[in-house]
Structures are given as C-alpha cells and as structure tokens.
Amino acid sequence: MVEEFKVTPWEVEGVVDYDKLIKHFGTSPLTEDLLEKTAELTKSELPIFFRRKFFFSHRDYDLILKDYEEGRGFFLYTGRGPSGPMHIGHIIPFFATKWLQEKFGVNLYIQITDDEKFLFKENLTFDDTKRWAYDNILDIIAVGFDPDKTFIFQNSEFTKIYEMAIPIAKKINFSMAKAVFGFTEQSKIGMIFFPAIQIAPTFFERKRCLIPAAIDQDPYWRLQRDFAESLGYYKTAALHSKFVPSLTSLSGKMSASKPETAIYLTDSPEDVEKKVWKFTLTGGRPTLKEQREKGGEPEKCVVFKWLEIFFEEDDKKLKERYYACKNGELTCGECKRYLISKIQEFLKEHQRRRKKAEKLVEKFKYTGKLAQEMWNEAIPEPLKRS
C-alpha cells in the first residue's frame, strides 16, 4: 500500500505512481544501460514493451544479462491465474516473455494457478477455475512460444509442485507471510500456504530465474529472495511491467470482471467497435471547436495509451499522432477508428492462432520435450535435503 494508490497481488486501485512504487517495493529502475545491453546481447532491436518503458523496473536483471554473457544462462518463469477470460492487459506480458525466450533461447515455465483462484475468489468453484485454465492456456499458446522449450502446467494437475513447495513452506513463518501479504486470522489456511506454491517454479533449474510479470506480483519474489540461497539456489530476478489501463480510466487496471472496461481476446469485431466507441476515455475537449483551437490531451487519453503500449509499433507514427492531437489536427473519432482497426486486426490473427492451439495443448502440457522432462524428473536434491 502506498498513499493515494494501492497495489497488491489481488488488488490495484488508484492512479499508480510508478516511481513511488519502485521506492516502496525496493526495486530498481530499468535503465537505458540495461536496455542497450539487452539489445547488444540479443543483436536485436528492442520491442516496444522495452523501448517505451512498459517494463520499467527490475530485480537483478543486470545479473541475468551477466549470467547469459558468461555462458551460465538463465530460465524464464511466469504465470496466469484463471478466474475468467483473458483480455488485452493479460496477454501483453506474455508477448514480452516470448521475445525474451526467442532472443535468448531459454526454457520457459508457465504456471496456471487454478488452485489460487479457487482459494482467493469466493464466487468461483474449483471446476470453474479448471475450465478457465484450459481456456486461458489456448490464448497463451496462441502467443507463439517454442513448444520444445515451454512447459505449461496447472497446479491441480502437476502435483509435484506441492512436493517442491514443502521445503519452501518450512522456510516461511506466518509472521513473514503476514508482513508481506497482509494475511489475518480470518485468512484461509490455503491462502497462507499458497505463496510456497507460487515460489516453487523459481527452483525448477539450477540457474537464475527471470520472471517477467506485472509489478503487483513482486511480493512473492521478495519473499523468495529472503531464503533462496539457504536452499542452494539463486535469488530470483524479475522484470516488472506497468498495468494496462481499462477503457474507461487511466487509474487502476483493466478488469476481466467488468466487461465495459476490457477488450477480451475472444471479442468479435463488433464487440471491439462498440466498446471503444461507447466506453473509451479520451483526452479530447468538450467540443470540436475547442479541440481545433486548444488541441487534445493525449497524456490523459486511453486511446493514445493503448497505442503507445501495444498497438502502434512505429515510433515515428506514434510521435506524429501525439503532436497532431496536441495541435488540434486530430479528432477523438479519428483516433478511436484507428485504434478499433488495430485491435480488430490483432484479434483476428490471435483468434486464428487460438483455434490452432487446440491441437497443441498436449505438447505444451505433457508430450513436448520440456514437459516430458518435468513430468519425469526427480525433485531437485537441494530441496530434498532441506
């Protein structure tokens, strides 16, 4: 909690001041030097997620780059809590993760926390979260991960995760968990144990782990870093993203439980058009005359923010659009039409790949190279001895 806004693994409220959040969480800014080093090591132009600072903060990303440069390597881990359909805000960090996997050639583990969502969401049954898990996995596979280097697992199925969580849970007392997550005497015991489950994949390999995810998940990694070395492993590293704002406001983040705030990955072209026209906050003036005279305010506009984060790849075009808005040369209607076309184009291709993903689920979960290794591999010795 920071005054004026709130960020926890389960709630994000208010207009987030990311500079304050860095200080509050004790993370480090993602600097130009680190971005330049990333471009140098990958021999690639950086994607917009990094160029435009959607990923803005980190823990030990400098050590990740050093490990890679010196031949020790690293691995990736991220996840998804299946409580409903995925939307644009959910999928963007997965595209950043795909870029990292592709450019560094590393393994990736994706945890689907169907258990967590059942424990933390009063309105969901366990069958609900399992059903949403399958639905969400299709969207994740559609991003285009390497099936030989990616293992997607549901906690309720991959029960080895519990075996790995036991020695982790022994390192965390209630006082620690309460301080980090704010648990109370009314918190369910499953909720209190869950952090050990979410931390477990950071120990899947004897290399440093890098977690690309929204910064609201950082409390789990702070806890892991307190005891990882005592178990014979590295402290996990992390890359933190900002939140994608809802259609209706620049504060908080998009919510799957509020259809008017979000574009779902399964929305039709008609859905997209209706939502953007009806609900999207703009930085326009009350009248067209004022817009032409005073110009718009793109810094207050969700349309511009969505283009900046994901839907306008071309830096030059984005800059031109910014100044055209500021100078009153663009109307909000023109910008909305442009964003609608961009979203519709993206979803058409995503939904095509999503349909193909139905035939790939087994490979990512059970029969692929990395999946087979994880199902057959013994519990790592350092955890066994703990």
Residue 377 domain-assigned (yes or no): no
Residue 240 domain-assigned (yes or no): yes
Using the 3D structure, point to which of 224, 245, 266 is the last residue of a domain: 245
pLDDT at 45: 96
pLDDT at 385: 67
* Number of structural domains found in the chain: 2
What is the bridge-based pairing of β-strands 55-59 and 237-241?
antiparallel
State pLDDT tens for residues 188-229: 999 999 999 999 999 999 999 999 999 999 999 999 999 999
Q: Where are the alpha helices (DSSP H) in the chain?
A: 18-25, 32-42, 48-51, 61-69, 88-104, 114-120, 126-141, 160-169, 174-181, 189-199, 218-227, 269-279, 288-294, 302-306, 315-326, 332-357, 361-362, 369-376, 381-385
Q: Specify whether 203 is located in the same domain as 343.
A: no
Q: Specify whether 226 is located in the same domain as 275.
A: no
Q: Specify whether 118 is located in the same domain as 168.
A: yes
Q: Specify whether 9 is located in the same domain as 103.
A: yes
Q: Specify whether 230 is located in the same domain as 282.
A: no
Nearest to 215 by CA among 35, 375, 6, 3: 6
CATH number at residue 298: 1.10.240.10
pLDDT at 250: 87
pLDDT at 284: 85
The DSSP code sequence of 180-208 is HH---TTS-HHHHHHHHHHHGGGGSSSSE
| 252 and 13 Cβ atoms separated by less than 8 Å | yes
Q: Specify whether 316 is located in the same domain as 339.
A: yes
Q: State CA 384 to chain mean position distance.
A: 31
CA distance 153 to 109: 8
pLDDT at 125: 96
Q: 189-199 and 218-227 helices cross at what angle (nearest 10)?
A: 70
User: Cβ neighbours of residue 143 under 8 Å, at least 6 residues apart?
Assistant: 91, 94, 95, 97, 98
Residue 385 domain-assigned (yes or no): no
φ, ψ of residue 57 to 5 degrees: the values are -145, 160
Residue 375 domain-assigned (yes or no): no
pLDDT at 1: 47
Residue 217 domain-assigned (yes or no): yes
Residue 304 domain-assigned (yes or no): yes
The predicted model scores a pTM of 0.95
**DSSP label of 259:** G
Residue 361's CB is within 10 A of a number of other CB atoms, namely 15
What is the bridge-based pairing of β-strands 237-241 and 208-214?
parallel
Q: Specify whether 198 is located in the same domain as 287.
A: no
CA distance 275 to 88: 13
| 202 and 211 Cβ atoms separated by less than 8 Å | yes
Rounded to whole angstroms, what are the CA distances from 155 to 90, 165, 280, 290? 19, 11, 36, 55
| Helix, coil or strand: residue 250 | coil
Q: State CA 43 to chain mean position distance.
A: 24
| 235 and 229 Cβ atoms separated by less than 8 Å | yes
Tokens matching residue 375: 């199902």
Using the 3D structure, point to which of 225, 245, 265 is the last residue of a domain: 245
- Per the structure, the complete domain to which residue 106 belongs is given by 3-245
Residue 263 domain-assigned (yes or no): yes
- Provide block-wise average pLDDT over 10 residues at a time, the chain (386 residues): 73 86 94 98 97 97 98 98 95 97 98 96 94 98 98 96 94 93 92 96 96 95 96 97 92 79 96 96 87 88 96 96 92 95 98 98 97 86 68
Q: Specify whether 211 is located in the same domain as 285.
A: no
Q: Specify whether 189 is located in the same domain as 282.
A: no
Q: Specify whether 216 is located in the same domain as 113.
A: yes
Q: Specify whether 119 is located in the same domain as 214.
A: yes
Q: Specify whether 241 is located in the same domain as 311.
A: no
CATH number at residue 229: 3.40.50.620
Using the 3D structure, point to which of 245, 274, 296 is the last residue of a domain: 245
Residue 386 domain-assigned (yes or no): no
